[in-house]
Structure 1
Amino acid sequence: MTEADAILTAIFDDDHKPARKIGRGMYHPGRAVVFPTKKVPTGSIRARSPLMADGLIHLDTDPKVVRLSPYPLETAYWSTLDEETPAKRDHIPDIAIMLRDDRIVFIDYVPLAEQAATPHFARRVAERTRHFRNEFGCAYAVHDERSVRIQPLLSNLRLMWAHRQLGFETAAQANARHFVRLASLPATIRTISENAGRTHQAIKWEGDEHPTPLPETDLVFTAVMQLAMRGEVRLDLGKPLTFDSTVQETAQ
């Protein structure tokens, strides 16, 4: 194993410590965001900005992303002081992601206004891109509002993320996922739900003879969102997600 391979393995270890500690008052005073995710051993990431938190929604709902490492390492890359004199610059990426095919990508989240205010920003990005490719064999990217907050994609991902599987769930929810897996696709969520029959959660108050259905809940809708995040079904995220959205089989 090369030194670079050892470093890449270490940043995804369960006991890996981030190279940067983000406190409540750092970078964006009072705006650091705690983002819960099962893709890190600690169960959450402290995003240094709202833009980064929105970016994490993309990663947490993407079935191709299997592991995250916040502020994974500090690395020194070659740059220049005056466009001629070589100099080393230190950098800590916001996140490293491991894809299902074992590729690793490093990402920074930088708002457009900050990019415009940073001298030689495009050159710095090119230098880091070259560094991560040459030193680690990995891709590097900078994401901003143009890719992170594109609509209706972000709203759809937020909706999917709100239906993510948590630590505890009812047997009915697991059954709903099973019913979606058995459905003949393509089909709308509404059609699958109607064919499933009883798909709403219910509550039984003390003294009631029968449970009261909660019409605002639909277990099949939640199941479809969860299976889409697992990559088991496919949705058109270029259109707002509704009960009339079509559920497709995943491409083989």
Structure 2
Amino acid sequence: MSDLFLLSERQMARISPHFPLSHGVARVDDQRVVSGIVYVIRNGLQWKDAPSQYGPHKTLYNRCIRWSRLGVFDRIFASLAGEGPQPERIMIDATHLKADRTAASLLKKGMFPRRIGRTKGGLNSKLHAVCDDDGRPIIMLLSEGQMSDHKGARIVLNALPKADCLIADKGYDSTWFREELLARGIEPCIPSSKSRKKPYVYDKALYRRRHKVENLFAKLKVWRRIATRYDRCAHTFFSAICIAASVIFWL
């Protein structure tokens, strides 16, 4: 497997404490299976097209789906992001992720919301992310494509870490958001929208660092199963995002 992706022993040691315990028959090699899952997500393959060196493709698929439902990959991302240093500055933004027709099928069936909505660009999901000053994600939220940036910000507001400043574009310019940030001791660096009669003053030099969160989305979308959503279930797709974010930024 020298020419294929394989997680190192050090990387496995950091994430294996979050794996569920094996009951009864011993589980197939975790390093090989998890590496195969990463390979499929990164290259946008169908599970049946995974290289045979990773083992049966049904094993990769079943492990990915089962652990997604258990929230294993979500916990791995949250734990790795939590190990980082306390950020002085944070940034928030959102991006659309196009939903393939296979993900959009059976849209209104099932118990759980699929987090797929319709916008001018068609059917898509929306990823809201908060990152640190190095452009590493610390909070992520998946929603329907039509959810506004303000609503996404309201949902993640209570999870924001302590920071000196939050940088965002004018899409987050609202009085309530600014007041909530100031109440938490976070200085907003947000340009005013054109509709404001009296614009807020902000640090333009500091605002130029906002490209870090844009770079975050660009790096995530290099992974083909992130740029285009093929998974019908929201928890499976969000787990794929957590896997990509963990491997790219925290491992």
Superposition TM-score tier, normalisation by shorter sequence: under 0.3
Indicate the structure with greater strand content.
Answer: 1
Indicate the structure with greater helix content.
Answer: 2
Query: Structure 2-normalised TM-score?
Result: 0.24
Query: Quick one: higher RCO (CA 8 Å, sep 6+), 1 or 2?
Result: 2
Which has the larger Rg? 1
